[in-house]
Structure formats: C-alpha cells, structure tokens
Amino acid sequence: MPEIINLGGLQLTFLRSKDDTAGALDLFEMTLQPNARMPIPHYHDRWDETIYGLSGVSTWRIDGMDVDVAPGETAFIKRGVVHGFTNRSARPATCLCILTPGALGPKYFKEMAVLLAAGTPDPAKMKETMLRYGLVPVLQS
C-alpha cells in the first residue's frame, strides 16, 4: 500500500522505496499545490533523479536553468547538479519522481515533515537532516 507524506504544500505518495527494491530505486508521486516550492536549492551526490510530469506544470531550476515539466515531459537531474522546484501555476501539479539508485526512502521526508509541522523550522536542524540523508543545501546569491 502506498505511503502518503504531507509537507506543507507538497504531498508525496511513496510507491516503491530503496527498502523494497534492494536499493535499486525510490519511486514516488509528488503533488505541489499552487506556489509550493522547495525552499532550499540542493544537490545529491548518491543518486540521479528523473522527473515525469503527470498533471499541471512544475518548474524545475536545474543548474541555473528553468525547465517546465508538463504532462508527458521529463527532466533529468544528474547527481551533483544543484536544483529546486516550484509550482508557479494556479492549480496543483503532479509528477513522478524516480531516484536511482534508491538511497533516500520515505524516512527523510517523514523527518522533514516533523520539522515543518513545528511551526517555524530550525534552519540548522533542517540542514543537519538534509546532510544526513545525502542532500547538500546550496545558498543562492
């Protein structure tokens, strides 16, 4: 049964994880509400990420370039490349996220959900959690 995790304006539905694919991949559906975004640009050094648009349009900033992902379109994020995302539209956008190999799993998102639910999240705790799971935050100038 899929596992659903809510992170403010984001909802993730985990379909497969590193735990049930012997580390081959993490696969989840992500729905971004209007104006939802990844607040911290980051990169990962352990996995690549492929995004497949299902509905609406999400915008991915990949290595300094904006890439709109509409239904049926894809974006590929090679490990080590700084990226983030947003939904600039007036309706939800949903995409399928595939991480290869599977290195993250749902536990990271559950921990971030707890930090976000506490009100104003502690940036130091968010950074520590990201780093522990292999996401490296990058300050944009």
> Considering the entire predicted model, what is its pTM?
0.92
Report how many domains make up the chain.
Answer: 1
Residue type present at position 57: V
CB atoms within 10 A of CB 104: 22
* Domain harbouring 118, CATH code: 2.60.120.10
Which amino acid makes up residue 117? Answer: A
Quick: pLDDT tens for 53-101.
999 999 999 999 999 999 999 999 999 999 999 999 999 999 999 999 9
Q: Is the pLDDT of residue 1 over 80?
A: no
8: left (phi over 0), alpha (psi -120 to 50) or beta: left
Work out the percent of the chain whose per-residue pLDDT is above 70: 98
How far out from the chain centre does Cα 84 lie?
8
Mean pLDDT of 23-45: 93
Return the closest-CA partner of residue 17 out of 8, 26, 9. Answer: 26
- Cα separation, 37 vs 24, in Å, equals 27
Domain housing 70: 3-137
Mean pLDDT of 101-111: 94
Query: Given a cut of 80, is residue 141 above it in pLDDT?
Result: no
